Amino acid sequence: MQSAPAVETTGLRKSYGSVHALRGVDLHVEPGSVFGLLGPNGAGKTTAVRILTTLLLPDDGSARVAGYDVVRDAAKVREHIGLAGQYAAVDENLTGFENLEMVGKLYHLGRGQPTARARELLSSFDLSDAADRLVRTYSGGMRRRLDLAAALVARPPVLFLDEPTTGLDIRSRIELWDAIEALVSGGTTVLLTTQVLDEADRLADRIAVIDQGLVIAEGTPTELKGQVGGERLDIHLCNEERGEEAVVALASIASDRPFLEDGSVRVPVAERRGTIADAVRRLDDAGIAIDDISVSTPTLDDVFLKLTGHAAEQEGEEAEAQAR
Amino acid sequence: MRGLRYGISDTLVLAKRSLLRIPRQPDLLVGFTVQPILFVLLFVYVFGGAINTPGLDYVDFLIPGIIVQSIVFGGFVTALGLADDLKKGLIDRFRSLPMTRSALLTGRTLGDVVTNIFQLIVMFSVGLLIGFNFSSSVGEVVAGILLLLLIGYAFSWVFAFIGLSSSSPEAANAFGFTILFPVTFVSSAFVPVDTMPSWLQPIAEHNPFTYMVNAARALFLGIPAENNVWLALAWTLGIIAVAAPLSAWKYRRVVAQ
């Protein structure tokens, strides 16, 4: 099982009436990696997670999680997964401790283990002080941390995080990211859905961009960024009139033709390393003085816009609302 | 065998969860303690004097009736809880766990049995304090208590269905109390049926609550049961036979989206 993919889907399809949530999705997630499923609301991310966590049956196609078929071996799948969702599914009328202990018992952990594991997780998620308080007194960030802790009770090898930071403020978001990164270093495979591009960029080893039920691009964050032209040097000259000369001088280090824009010279580069020094040297040799030089990295926002023709965080909300 | 053991332990875990909610939600706690006591006192001391119950003190007439009504609504926690779980996404968490899936419903309804026992203790204690007396054999009293618990269990399944069919706990609340609550009044629970207008009497007489209340009176007060006990039992089992599979079906439909 070591070399088998942690998650693998083939031609996954699901429709809700006339709404096609998934239109043939193939995914392949290596064990121990973080896989980001990136897309706007209504793209089909949540539907994919619901199928992979056995909450929903696919109309067509197949999916295996931790080596088990999500339809035929659903019970086995459930023993190997953890799910944390966008709703922070914890019981408000129980304390943090009671929530985790209950989940441990429902995972059928051995005698005494649900209690010990609950204490351990509360401590590692910085919730020990609030352990015996009812969850309805928790802040949004605390609930999400408890939700994530609940997903980890049985130390599942595959963890599904459906928009784990939606609705959180920046500080809580960063805290949760740290928690997720700590997990991954422990070898857990994580499939994460998000419409927050920074989140996928920061956490994921590989990203599949999903839009309207189809995977429209897949690769490492760097590869995806490469699709919109990679990195770029932005050079502001002391004398803007020498821009054309600079373009000629820098052409040989550029991956694509340098161009002038807003009084700066833009130089697309394939490899960041060494290129700044190189550019400085060449301009110096040509006797062109530099006022400022910087590297700009394309964001996943740029990727998304280029791939889908629309920005990431808009539309589709009604479609998903209808579908649910 | 292992499946059965897990089924039982999962049910117990979720029954405990369902019960923990009651003391932690002030409105529920009041609903299960202060409210039934107030109802007993109101009926006995305010309305009782105006209600003529030949052959019985009003307190003896009332207690079996009001206990049937309370126990029917004991399962209301199940409706609230399920509607809440659906709305807040907790059902998804549970369904992603390797637990016995039916435990979500059996845990709730089992929890209600414990609630019902608590209700019986509260109601009988108040009743005994204000003059209610058992005047039947111990065997009959025990049979009466078991019948009441079975009635409570049956309505837990009705409330499970209501909870699963409601868009929110508030909707479940409205549905339960606007439909079921008045129906319990058109019965022999609070007044003798023959004091009602003649057009209403046949409805009240054939109301299953009337059979249940009459059965409880027969078993606690030693008055002739006629066939009320058997009719009450048949209705109760019939309600379970319909409401439990209906709830299970509704549950599968609701979550498969």
Q: What is the CATH number of the domain that holds A257?
A: 3.30.70.920
The band of B203, judged by pLDDT with boundaries at 50, 70 and 90, is: very high
Chain B neighbors of A134, CB-CB under 8 A: 24
**What average pLDDT does the segment B227-238 reach?**
95
Question: Which residues on chain A place their C-beta less than 8 Å from a C-beta of chain B?
Answer: 16, 50, 53-57, 75, 78-79, 81-83, 85, 87-94, 98, 102-103, 105-108, 134, 150, 324
Same domain, A178 and A48: yes
Per-residue pLDDT at A319: 42
The band of A1, judged by pLDDT with boundaries at 50, 70 and 90, is: very low
* Selection from B31, B244, B250, B67 nearest residue B158 by Cα: B244
Same domain, A209 and A283: no
From B235's Cα to the closest Cα of chain A, the distance in A is 35
Question: Is the minimum CB–CB distance between B255 and chain A shorter than 8 Å?
Answer: yes
CA distance A281 to B239: 88
Same domain, A248 and A202: no
Per-residue pLDDT at B32: 84
Looking only at the bridges linking them, the beta strands covering A158-162 and A68-69 are unpaired
From B85's Cα to the closest Cα of chain A, the distance in A is 8
- Is A320 a residue whose pLDDT tops 70? no
| 16-75 in chain B: CB under 8 A from chain A | 17, 20-21, 24-25
Domain count, chain A: 2
Q: What is the CATH number of the domain that holds A200?
A: 3.40.50.300
From B63's Cα to the closest Cα of chain A, the distance in A is 33
The residues facing A20 across adjacent strands are A15
Model confidence pLDDT, tens digit, residues A79-114:
999 999 776 689 999 999 999 999 999 999 988 999
Per-residue pLDDT at A300: 67
Same domain, A13 and A159: yes
* Selection from B246, B66, B88, B77 nearest residue B173 by Cα: B77
The tokens of B248 are what?
A: 């299970």
More confident residue, B159 or A87: B159
Q: What is the mean pLDDT of chain A?
A: 86
Q: What percent of chain A has pLDDT over 90?
A: 42
Model confidence pLDDT, tens digit, residues B103-158:
999 999 999 999 999 999 999 999 999 999 998 999 999 999 999 999 999 999 99
Q: From A225, A259, A287, give the residue that closes a domain.
A: A225
Residue A314 lies in a domain: no
* Selection from B116, B73, B68, B71 nearest residue B219 by Cα: B68
Residue A304 lies in a domain: no
Same domain, A168 and A209: yes
**Residue A74: closest C-alpha in chain B:** B98
Residue A211 lies in a domain: yes
Chain A neighbors of B99, CB-CB under 8 A: 106-108
Same domain, A19 and A142: yes
More confident residue, B3 or A207: A207
Residue A201 contacts residue A300 (beta carbons within 8 Å): yes
- Is A147 a residue whose pLDDT tops 60? yes
Chain A neighbors of B257, CB-CB under 8 A: 16, 56, 324
Task: Verify whether the Cβ–Cβ distance A108 to B9 is below 8 Å.
Answer: yes
Question: Is the minimum CB–CB distance between B8 and chain A shorter than 8 Å?
Answer: no
- Is B213 a residue whose pLDDT tops 90? yes
Hey, is A7 helix, strand or coil? strand
Same domain, A46 and A165: yes
Domain of A252, in residue numbers: 231-296
Residue A311 lies in a domain: no
Model confidence pLDDT, tens digit, residues B77-103:
889 889 888 888 888 899 999 999 889
* Selection from B14, B13, B31 nearest residue B22 by Cα: B31
Model confidence pLDDT, tens digit, residues A57-85:
999 999 999 999 999 999 999 999 999 97
Chain A neighbors of B27, CB-CB under 8 A: none
Of B17, B95, B98, the CB nearest to A91: B17
Same domain, A19 and A167: yes
Q: State the residue for tokens 């926002």.
A: A301
Sequence-ordered alpha helix ranges (H) in A192-274? 197-203, 221-227, 243-250
**Residue A99: closest C-alpha in chain B:** B17
Same domain, A238 and A106: no
Model confidence pLDDT, tens digit, residues B180-192:
888 889 999 999 9
**Residue A156: closest C-alpha in chain B:** B97
CA distance A282 to A288: 9
Same domain, A262 and A205: no
The tokens of A272 are what?
A: 């960041």
Same domain, A169 and A253: no
Same domain, A170 and A261: no
CA distance B181 to B70: 10
Residue A323 lies in a domain: no
Question: Is the minimum CB–CB distance between B108 and chain A shorter than 8 Å?
Answer: no
Chain A neighbors of B95, CB-CB under 8 A: 54-55
